[in-house]
């Protein structure tokens, strides 16, 4: 491998424990990776096999985490879904600034936003292709509800009694 900074030939080494700060998370370590280092300028580059698989696996662990998501974790899952901060702000009906405050840790991620984001990630896992359009459909088809009537006829049927 050639150093992208100074074009020198890099040398490979197996890492023991690599602090994966590139993930944007503070507490992720990778084991047994190949780390390329430049003898000239000291630049380092890590070789990560199946990065998409790693991102998936990390997302799965974060989703099943017991405590509230940290701002960094929230940001990780959001970007894992391919959403911008503005996307999430629109879907959660908050301002872009609010999402930014959650992610920087200035504000604690509220419980409902925490759960909703986890749910979105889980939906993505089930379908393996998270469709923003599905959520948009739900949001666009929101209706005023006076009351709901649930009936069981082999399966539950819900009727919106707003009309």
Q: Which residues bind Zn ion (CB under 5 A)?
A: 3, 5-6, 8, 38, 40-41, 43
DSSP code for 22: G
C-beta of 36 vs 92, nearer to Zn ion: 36
Contacts 24+ apart (CB under 8 A), 148-154: none
| CB 12 to Zn ion: min, Å | 14
C-beta of 37 vs 100, nearer to Zn ion: 37
| CB 60 to Zn ion: min, Å | 36
C-beta of 8 vs 162, nearer to Zn ion: 8
Angstrom CA distances, 24 to 48, 115, 122, 142, 144, stand at: 15, 20, 21, 35, 40
Q: Which helix (H) or strand (E) holds 79?
A: helix 71-80
| CB 14 to Zn ion: min, Å | 20
């Amino acid at each position: 491998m050639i150093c992208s900074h100074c074009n020198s030939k890099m040398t490979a080494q197996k890492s023991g424990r690599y602090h994966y700060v590139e993930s944007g998370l503070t507490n992720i370590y990778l084991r047994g990776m190949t780390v390329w280092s430049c003898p000239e300028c000291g630049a380092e580059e890590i070789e990560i096999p199946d990065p998409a698989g790693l991102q998936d696996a990390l997302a799965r662990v974060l989703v099943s985490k017991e405590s509230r998501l940290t701002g960094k974790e929230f940001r990780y899952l959001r970007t894992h879904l391919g959403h911008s901060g503005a996307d999430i702000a629109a879907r959660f009906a908050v301002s872009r600034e609010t999402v930014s405050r959650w992610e920087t840790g200035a504000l604690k991620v509220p419980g409902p936003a925490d759960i909703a984001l986890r749910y979105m990630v889980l939906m993505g896992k089930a379908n393996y292709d998270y469709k923003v359009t599905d959520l948009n459909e739900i949001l666009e088809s929101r209706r005023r509800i006076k009351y709901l009537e649930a009936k069981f006829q082999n399966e539950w049927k819900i009727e919106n009694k707003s009309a």
